[in-house]
Amino acid sequence: MARMVVALGGNALGETPEEQQAAVKSTAEKIVQLIKKGHEIVLAHGNGPQVGMINLAFESSSRTEEDVASMPFPECGAMSQGYIGYHLQNAIQQKLREENIDTNVASLITQVIVDEDDPAFDSPTKPIGAFYSREEADRLEKEKGYSMVEDSGRGYRRVVPSPLPVDIAEKDMIRELVASGKIVIACGGGGIPVVRKENGLAGVPAVIDKDHASEKLAEELEADYLIILTEVEKVALNFGTEEEKWLDEMTTEEAKRYADEGHFAEGSMLPKVKAAVEFAESGPNKKSLITSLENADAALKGKTGTQIYEAREGEI
């Protein structure tokens, strides 16, 4: 039996409420397979399309409807955790019931603390929300203090920073739930980004990478595995080229070298590999695994997926 933090990628959820409702059924099946084996599972998930949709809906309707307030980005993130958690926890609970496994699932609204001095705040990179004309973009910069950038000829978009996670505000609660055998869904969308202020936590418009937040969660929970489930069965070198080579495993040293050589795309595979390396190096017997949802079980048996581990003394 092992403790695992499982990070679900975009394909575990789909992009519309209907798609999500359908996708979480097969996601739940795979997750309950792992629970059935006796593993302690904590789930984290992405929220890109979902928070994008929520943000865009408020942005456009608050422009035309007087009684729709403009919704701050951290609040949009909180809504996405609720919306995704609602579907996921129902689907997993139902599957547990069918399998006669006597436990409960809870999604926890999770705030992830970031450092106000994180250099990411000096150069926002993550585009969110609608496309605007140059005039509208200028006005938003002045009136709301947004950072707006031109996005590949399609107009201007707001960009927010992507700082690294420093701490998880609700970690004690997550620990208690896990210790009492509950299934927890936490750190959705990388968590709601907050900074510490004298009078408590304050939300900031930013996006925390869900792979990094999941890594932080895995460390905090002293998990044995960080499992990053995405669209591909394995990580590749020379991805998408004729020299493509799928990897069964890599040491953290190899992974760092491959990353430096540019094998992993920024914003997709690179944060996963970085998170996997960080977790594998966080203590003895810590392993990371990158694979697809379909192959999670087989990958845990060493049959597929890409394992990332730290080569320690005595090993080659």
Contact footprint for ligand ADP (CB under 6 A): 9-10, 46, 230-232, 235-236, 239, 263-265, 268-269
Compute the distance between CA of residue 140 and CA of residue 280 in angstroms, rounded to an integer: 43
The verdict on whether 126 is a catalytic residue reads yes
- Nearest approach, Cβ of residue 10 and Mg ion (Å): 3
The verdict on whether 287 is a catalytic residue reads no
Task: Name the active-site residue from 171, 234, 272, 274.
Answer: 272
Compute the distance between CA of residue 229 and CA of residue 85 in angstroms, rounded to an integer: 17
- Nearest approach, Cβ of residue 11 and ligand ADP (Å): 6
Strand ranges (E), 142-234: 147-150, 156-160, 165-168, 183-185, 192-197, 200-203, 225-230
45 or 158: whose CB is closer to ligand ADP? 45
The verdict on whether 11 is a catalytic residue reads yes
Compute the distance between CA of residue 145 and CA of residue 205 in angstroms, rounded to an integer: 11
171 or 212: whose CB is closer to Mg ion? 212
Closest CA to 156 of 140, 142, 178, 144: 140
Compute the distance between CA of residue 154 and CA of residue 60 in angstroms, rounded to an integer: 17
Task: Name the active-site residue from 46, 48, 77, 126.
Answer: 126
Closest CA to 25 of 296, 300, 301, 293: 293
- Nearest approach, Cβ of residue 140 and ligand ADP (Å): 27
168 or 232: whose CB is closer to Mg ion? 232
Classify 288 as helix, strand or coil: strand
The verdict on whether 216 is a catalytic residue reads no
181 or 267: whose CB is closer to ligand ADP? 267
Among 10, 124, 163, 193, binds Mg ion (CB under 5 A): 10
Euclidean distance between the first and the last CA atom of the chain, given in angstroms as a whole number: 26
Using CB under 5 A, list all residues that contact Mg ion.
Answer: 10
Q: What are the residue numbers of the active site?
A: 10-11, 126, 210, 272
